[in-house]
């Protein structure tokens, strides 16, 4: 288990020198088939979406966002992240606080799980994500200080127990507003047979920093890497991520039909077309189209190309 701490200096960020992001993208490039999920308490995405879009550059397969501070007055069309499924999965905020967004890369089969009824005010967003040989259950969560701790953990536990029979791999990722050493967190982990794999400090409301953005899993051996990176998008929080050993579903190739006109002799084609049309008593367009296509296929045969699906960033 590794913690890859990627922390570019904030001044470097302002100058566009995103060394931390480049290191993370290199990690993804070297492990292109591995699944990587991230989380950021962004403290309002309203005026930061374009910056987020520039930063992520398809690095992550799943991007989970907390404190989006979006309500129904902000349409999903304003948050269409290129390369990711639209619309994003979301829970809107209440009282100008909270809100969740989850972006999943295009081509990854995903569905919002709704069989277990959850109060939106608790900010728990479960998704099923299908990979090559596995189904992954991902909970994007945010626990504001105003939410009763016991109520939150009891509800989250109930949701996990409701769904866990169908999933070997469960990830709970989010801002708990609690340190992992807190007895209530420890008790939750014990009851659900889960481990926290995020050990680094993630929130810096003070110089000392705290680890309150956590990544919990019931399958610690499926985690290949974890880490943090400064984004400049949040007031106190750093982005956290986990790379899993789980592999993508192999996407089918794209089939392209095309003609190669490099050696096409237009004069000869037109001469033959005119000759055939003049010798045949053409009564309708379908007959003409048939003659045209037959001649065209002799002069410029139709070719087929298969483009292999590519999951690299």
- The verdict on residue 7 lying in a domain is no
Residues 109 and 225 in one domain: yes
Residues 200 and 265 in one domain: no
Domain tally, the chain = 2
Residues 97 and 157 in one domain: yes
Predicted pLDDT at 25: 73
Predicted pLDDT at 9: 35
Residues 146 and 209 in one domain: yes
- The verdict on residue 264 lying in a domain is yes
Instruction: Look up the domain containing 275 and give its range.
Output: 254-307
- The verdict on residue 1 lying in a domain is no
Residues 28 and 146 in one domain: yes
Residues 143 and 269 in one domain: no
Could you tell me the maximum CA-CA distance found in the chain, to the nearest angstrom?
Answer: 92
Residues in the chain: 313
Predicted pLDDT at 253: 67
Long-range contact set of residues 202-210: C-beta below 8 Å, sequence gap at least 24:
202/228, 202/237, 202/238, 202/240, 203/41, 203/175, 203/236, 203/237, 203/238, 204/236, 204/238, 205/236, 210/179
Residues 243 and 258 in one domain: no
Residues 198 and 273 in one domain: no
Q: What is the CATH number of the domain that holds 126?
A: 3.60.10.10
- The verdict on residue 213 lying in a domain is yes
Residues 293 and 160 in one domain: no
Predicted pLDDT at 11: 34
Where a domain ends, among 228, 247, 266?
247
Rg, Å, the chain Cα set: 26
Pair 218, 170: CB distance under 8 Å: yes
Pair 169, 219: CB distance under 8 Å: yes
Residues 269 and 179 in one domain: no
What is the distance between the alpha carbons of residues 186 and 255, in angstroms, rounded to a whole number? Answer: 51
- The verdict on residue 125 lying in a domain is yes
- The verdict on residue 6 lying in a domain is no
Q: What is the pLDDT along the chain (313 residues), one digit of tens a residue?
A: 444 433 333 333 333 334 566 777 777 777 777 888 999 888 888 888 877 777 776 678 899 988 888 888 888 888 888 888 899 899 888 667 788 989 998 888 899 999 999 988 899 999 999 887 788 999 999 998 888 999 999 999 999 999 988 888 999 999 998 988 899 999 999 999 999 999 888 888 888 888 888 999 998 888 888 888 887 788 888 888 888 887 655 556 678 888 888 888 888 888 888 888 777 767 778 888 888 888 888 888 888 887 655 444 3
What φ, ψ does residue 134 adopt, rounded to 5°?
-135, 160
Q: What is the pTM of this model?
A: 0.72
């Amino acid at each position: 288990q590794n913690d890859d701490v990627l922390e570019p200096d904030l001044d470097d960020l302002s100058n566009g020198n995103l060394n931390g992001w480049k290191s993370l993208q290199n990690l993804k490039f070297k492990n292109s088939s591995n699944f990587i999920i991230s989380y950021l308490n962004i403290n309002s995405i309203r005026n930061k979406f374009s910056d987020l879009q520039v930063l992520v550059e398809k690095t992550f397969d799943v991007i989970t966002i907390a404190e989006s501070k979006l309500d129904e007055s902000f349409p999903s069309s304003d948050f269409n992240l290129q390369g990711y499924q639209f619309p994003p999965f979301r829970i809107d905020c209440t009282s100008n606080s909270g809100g969740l967004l989850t972006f999943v890369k295009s081509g990854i089969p995903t569905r919002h799980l709704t069989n277990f009824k959850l109060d939106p005010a608790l900010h728990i967003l479960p998704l099923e994500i299908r990979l090559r040989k596995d189904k992954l259950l991902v909970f994007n969560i945010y626990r504001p200080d105003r939410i009763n701790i016991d109520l939150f953990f009891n509800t989250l536990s109930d949701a996990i127990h409701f769904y866990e029979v169908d999933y070997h791999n469960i990830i709970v990722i989010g801002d708990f507003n609690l340190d992992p050493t807190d007895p209530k967190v420890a008790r939750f982990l014990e009851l659900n047979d889960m481990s926290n794999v995020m050990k680094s400090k993630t929130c810096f409301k003070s110089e000392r920093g705290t680890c309150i953005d956590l990544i919990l899993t019931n399958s610690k051996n499926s985690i290949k890497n974890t880490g943090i990176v400064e984004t400049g998008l949040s007031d106190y929080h750093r982005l956290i991520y986990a790379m899993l050993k789980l592999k993508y579903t192999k996407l089918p190739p794209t089939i392209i039909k095309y003609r190669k006109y490099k050696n096409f002799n237009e004069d000869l084609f037109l001469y033959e077309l005119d000759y055939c049309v003049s010798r045949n008593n053409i009564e309708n367009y379908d007959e003409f189209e048939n003659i045209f296509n037959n001649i065209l296929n002799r002069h410029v045969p139709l070719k087929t190309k298969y483009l292999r699906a590519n999951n690299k960033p």
